[in-house]
């Protein structure tokens, strides 16, 4: 499925609009057992679900709007767009969502519209490129594999060196660069069913 309109039609038809756990003011298209998202391609459809790091980071931004109000925000590995949508709701002046999955880009636009905010979605792996012209980079659930974590860490190091603030949301996966993180908040969030602990960190240079 390569046509963006067809992707949007599939998401509307098969991924019901669902309130976000612990953040009922936000709603997302979310896959269920019968959604058939596996038919959409070879890439794992991470964008069709919410994850612990994104949940705790979105909740933190809404509880602490001073972190994003009036700032330009870059949501790295945005998935469903949850974190960027929360940033927009909290008063960010502009939100750009970076996602390599074209289905995710369509989902981000649909989810942003559902929540009455605007997110400018872009395609491609941004970790090898220049530091984006933003004030704040948000990173939820990106440290899930060693190779991805290495690329993301190098990119975030460049962002911090350029004076950009970085916030990370994660449930404590093994590749997390803990030496670069300072704990800001911790909470229990429910990806599916039972809640699990996850945390928000400030990212700093090594």
Q: For residue 44, what pLDDT is reported?
A: 75
Give the CATH number, domain containing residue 86: 3.40.50.150
Total count of domains within the chain:
1
Nearest to 139 by CA among 168, 117, 101: 168
pLDDT in tens, 43-60: 779 899 999 999 999 999
pLDDT in tens, 114-168: 999 999 888 788 999 999 999 999 999 999 999 999 999 999 999 999 999 999 9
* β-sheet bridge partners, residue 118: none
Q: How big is the CA angle at 19 (ends 105 and 196), to the nearest 5 degrees?
A: 90
pTM score, whole prediction: 0.95
Q: Residue 164 is part of which domain span?
A: 4-203
Q: For residue 42, what pLDDT is reported?
A: 62
Residues contacting residue 24 through CB under 8 Å, at least 6 positions apart: none
């Amino acid at each position: 499925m390569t046509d963006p309109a067809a992707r949007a039609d599939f998401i509307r038809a098969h991924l019901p609009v669902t309130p976000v756990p612990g953040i009922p003011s936000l709603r997302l298209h979310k896959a269920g057992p019968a959604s058939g998202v596996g038919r959409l391609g070879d890439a794992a459809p991470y964008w069709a679900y919410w994850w612990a790091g994104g949940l705790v980071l979105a909740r933190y931004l809404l509880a602490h709007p001073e972190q994003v109000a009036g700032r330009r925000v870059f949501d790295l590995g945005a998935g469903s767009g949850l974190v960027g949508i929360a940033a927009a709701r909290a008063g960010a002046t502009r939100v750009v969502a970076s996602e390599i999955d074209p289905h995710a880009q369509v989902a981000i636009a649909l989810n942003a519209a559902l929540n009455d905010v605007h997110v400018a979605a872009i395609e491609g792996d941004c970790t090898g490129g220049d530091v984006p012209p933003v004030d704040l980079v948000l990173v939820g659930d990106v440290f899930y594999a060693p190779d991805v974590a290495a690329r993301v860490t190098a990119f975030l190091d460049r962002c911090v060196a350029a004076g950009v603030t970085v916030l990370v949301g994660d449930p404590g996966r093994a590749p997390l660069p803990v030496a670069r993180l300072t704990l800001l908040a911790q909470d229990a969030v429910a990806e599916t069913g039972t809640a699990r602990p996850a945390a928000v960190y400030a990212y700093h240079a090594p």
